[in-house]
Amino acid sequence: MTQTILISEVGPRDGLQSINMVMPTEAKKAWIKAEVEAGVSEIEVGSFVPPKLLPQMADTAEIVAYAKTLPGLDVVALIPNLKGAERAIAAGVDKMSIPFSMSETHSIKNVRKDHAAMVSEIRAIAELVAAQPKASRPHFEVGLSTAFGCTIEGPVAEDQVVRLAEATIEAGAAEVGLSDTTGYANPQQVRRLVRKVKAAIGDALLNTLHLHNTRGLGLANVVAGLEEGISTFDASLCGLGGCPFAPGASGNIVTEDLVFMLEAMGLETGIDVEKLLQVREILRQALPDEPLYGFTPDAGLPLGFERAAA
């Protein structure tokens, strides 16, 4: 099991795109800054989608520019297509990720492309990335969404996930991640699919899991991923988020709960959970009508809790 774990905060993108209220730009900046000060080193700050589709993300270029001024932060953005990649590169992101749904029905509803068209799009983006100067070339990851099941199609064949992971790497992506977009995964399934994909594309090309806590299995699935060598986990402060294009998909893993669990297990995250808990106040003030989740914030830290030694 890897001793140092990277937690990628996705709340400013995945969390905010799933709620109706548009968070003020200055509040987003305050949120991101406060998380960096708590030790978070990677944040998905927004997505380069058309504002008419997701007005919550209309200020992403400005947010990226601000986040790039924060020392020690890798700035990540989601892209839906080649045009989004061009905008992300122009904005100066360190890393960009495109969702590639393993459910073809979901892919068509989400980005209006079947699997063959998505592989072609990934290839075009990889070529665009490769054409950039090496010093400013963003890391290009593909998130294999609905990898554990789909609210539209139901079960997704694991062999199909493996085949599309291989096609994604062949098309030029730097790595893939597995996403439980709909909150269907269980620990045994996580172990099995991680092993299959790693066996097909190599251990080094699958490092990330994006898990949801829709049915209360989020942290159990994290432990399963840890046991298979996964070293990066997405999470959302206060548990904000889901997928607006996957009906019934809700409940990102709560960043505060994930940090507490990992640190209590003796794994290093580099994040001060006490400082992280204080960041919730920014969301509480900026999103007064939005429910905020988390067991650790409600219960508090146990007496004598100590962070893992760095």
The residues that are catalytic are 243
> How far, in Å, CA of 250 to CA of 214, rounded?
6
Residue that has been written with the tokens 């990889």 in this structure: 126
State the Cα torsion 34-35-39-43 to the nearest 10°: -140
Tokens of 31: 């949120």
Question: What do you get for the CA distance between the two ends of the chain, in Å?
Answer: 16
Helix (H, G, I), strand (E, B) or coil at 193: helix
Q: What phi and psi values does residue 308 have, to the nearest 5 degrees? A: -65, 140
The candidate with the shortest Cα–Cα distance to 16, out of 42, 40, 46, 43, is 46
> How far, in Å, CA of 4 to CA of 268, rounded?
5
> How far, in Å, CA of 118 to CA of 121, rounded?
5
Tokens of 118: 């998505």
